[in-house]
């Protein structure tokens, strides 16, 4: 299931394509409608805009709906992971025994002071 959710955008696209094709054949554009025929005669650009936008929305609306549903499933089914415990840092090498600069990434400074700032009552 998590594999499908990792590709949720592609899955939403495939589902929307199938839904759009089904809607395209089940509910074709009503070219025989008298009002649309009048618009086609008086303003052909508006008619073609209507037609192509309607056809585009047959695919875009299901894609949006599937995307929202799959993203919601992805968000709410993720297991809350515990934060990884940091590993112990390597010992800092003795300065006299090395000939190059050395850096330990992830050093924690003033740990005791930070611990003292937290009080049980939250103040």
The answer as to whether 29 is a domain residue is yes
The count of domains in the chain is 1
The whole domain housing 68 covers 2-77
Average pLDDT over residues 107-115: 60
pLDDT in tens, 17-69: 999 999 999 999 998 999 999 999 999 999 999 999 999 999 999 999 999 99
The answer as to whether 93 is a domain residue is no
Average pLDDT over residues 75-96: 73
Indicate whether this model's pTM tops 0.75. Answer: no
CB under 8 Å, gap of 24 or more: what pairs does 64-68 form? 66/11, 66/12, 66/15, 66/16, 66/19, 67/8, 67/9, 67/12
The answer as to whether 43 is a domain residue is yes
């Amino acid at each position: 299931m998590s594999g499908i959710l990792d590709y949720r955008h592609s899955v939403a696209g495939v589902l929307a394509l199938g839904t759009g094709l089904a809607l395209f054949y089940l509910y074709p554009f009503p070219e025989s409608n008298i009002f649309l025929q009048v618009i086609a005669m008086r303003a052909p650009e508006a008619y073609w805009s209507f037609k192509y936008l309607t056809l585009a929305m047959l695919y875009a609306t299901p894609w949006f709906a599937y995307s929202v549903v799959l993203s919601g499933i992805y968000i709410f089914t993720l297991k809350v992971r515990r934060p990884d415990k940091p590993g112990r840092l390597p010992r800092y090498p003795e300065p006299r025994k090395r000939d190059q600069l050395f850096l330990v990434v992830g050093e924690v400074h003033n740990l005791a002071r930070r611990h003292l700032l937290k009080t049980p009552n939250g103040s």
